[in-house]
């Protein structure tokens, strides 16, 4: 059955490719900021399911649809994609201070033929060494920061040298947890 990734994230595309899947991409069109919940697990599930609902409207064939959403939790506070340079700088100052960044990634996998949907959440933590202020300003100025929850991207060469510790699956931090995604694909495919 055809596989469709409902995401424009290069990181998620890379993870699914590394998992050995051939897939098409259909980018969901939703207002993520309109979906709210104070619980990061519930929030990411709500957004991932909204993305799935949107992609389902665009797909007219039998397929397995994969969508995902991620947020970063810092000191108990949810941080999503920064809305401006000031917010990105504040997020990255916390990253640079060695504050644990807990990534919460939700995945949904839908089977368009059966109408069944499976979902789950994975968490991982990354801690960074201090990042020089000039480096932070350069990264914020590049604009890359606005595409990532918490304003950082672990697979970006800018951040890699500063990673101190990762607890959990690297792919959860990237935004598409391998083990969870594989489990959900198998569940949706075995119907």
User: Residues with catalytic annotation?
Assistant: 69
Q: Which tokens hold the place of 22?
A: 């051939």
- Check: CB of residue 53 under 8 Å from CB of residue 60: no
- Residues ≥6 apart with Cβ < 8 Å to 180: 105, 107, 120, 121, 122, 172
- Check: CB of residue 140 under 8 Å from CB of residue 84: no
- Check: CB of residue 33 under 8 Å from CB of residue 54: no
**Residue bearing tokens 């807990």:** 102
Residue 36 phi, psi (nearest 5): -130, 150
**Residue bearing tokens 């960074």:** 128
On the CB side of 64, CA atoms within 13 Å amount to: 23
């Amino acid at each position: 059955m055809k596989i469709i990734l409902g995401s424009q994230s290069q990181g998620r595309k890379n993870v699914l490719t590394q998992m050995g899947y051939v897939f098409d991409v259909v980018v969901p069109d939703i207002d993520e900021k309109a979906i709210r919940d104070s619980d990061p697990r519930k929030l990411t599930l709500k957004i991932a399911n909204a993305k799935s609902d949107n992609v389902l409207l665009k797909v007219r064939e039998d397929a397995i649809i994969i969508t995902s959403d991620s947020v970063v939790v810092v000191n108990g506070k949810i941080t999503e994609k920064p809305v401006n340079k000031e917010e990105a700088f504040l997020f990255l100052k916390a990253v640079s201070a060695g504050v644990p960044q807990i990534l919460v990634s939700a995945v949904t996998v839908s089977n368009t033929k059966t109408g069944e949907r499976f979902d789950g959440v994975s968490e991982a933590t990354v801690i960074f060494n201090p990042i020089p202020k000039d480096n932070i300003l350069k990264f914020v100025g590049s604009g890359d920061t606005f595409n990532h929850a918490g304003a950082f991207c672990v697979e970006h060469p800018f951040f890699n040298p500063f990673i101190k510790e990762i607890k959990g699956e690297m792919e959860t931090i990237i935004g598409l947890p391998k083990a969870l995604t594989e489990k959900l694909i198998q569940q949706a495919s075995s119907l």
